[in-house]
Amino acid sequence: MADLFGDEWMKKFQEEWNKESELSDALAKINFNSNIGYGIDGEDTPRGVLVVENGKATIGCAYDGQELNWDLRASEDNWNKWIAKGLGMMGLGMAYTSRKLKFQVGDYGAMIKDPRMAGPFIKSFTVMGRV
């Protein structure tokens, strides 16, 4: 298995992201563009980055200093649990308020209040389970 959020893992995540219409097509409707970092809480930098242009993931790779709009961090155990089981809206809220999921960069409050972004964000955890 590829290292969590390593280059190979991120490339597979990019492929799966684009296959999921509830994620890529939904975000295309709102012209969503973002550099999203994924990493382990306590590490200096994220491990991987996904570049999204108009909802489609155009680059999935190891992090190499890219500017980020979002930087999501959690323990490796929590990531693995969410990847295996998914994460619903209530679980996301609990993960955020208990600081199990941290937004080093990005506005959780603005994202969660916009159903056009919140739904696809939740779906991204399901897609991670396909990697």
> Which of 48, 65, 51 has its CA nearest to residue 8?
48
Asked if pLDDT for residue 78 goes beyond 90, the answer is yes
pLDDT confidence bin for 2, thresholds 50/70/90: low
DSSP β-bridge partners for residue 102? 73
Pick the CATH number of 7-126 from 3.50.50.60, 3.30.1050.10, 3.90.1660.10, 3.20.20.80: 3.30.1050.10
Q: What residue spans define the domains of the chain? A: 7-126
Distances (CA, A) of 44 to 7, 29, 38, 47, 104: 17, 34, 12, 9, 11
By percentage, how much of the chain surpasses pLDDT 90?
78
Tell me the mean pLDDT in the region 92-121.
Answer: 89
Let me know how long the chain is: 131
pTM of the model: 0.93
Asked if pLDDT for residue 1 goes beyond 80, the answer is no
pLDDT on residue 46: 97
pLDDT mean across residues, the chain: 93
> Which of 81, 2, 12, 10 has its CA nearest to residue 39?
10
Asked if pLDDT for residue 29 goes beyond 80, the answer is yes
Asked if pLDDT for residue 71 goes beyond 70, the answer is yes
DSSP assignment of 31-96 equals T--EEEEEEETTSSS-SEEEEEETTEEEEEEE-SS---SEEEEE-HHHHHHHHHH---HHHHHHHH
> Which of 56, 29, 52, 58 has its CA nearest to residue 106?
52
CB 10 within 8 A of CB 49: yes
Asked if pLDDT for residue 119 goes beyond 60, the answer is yes
pLDDT on residue 114: 85
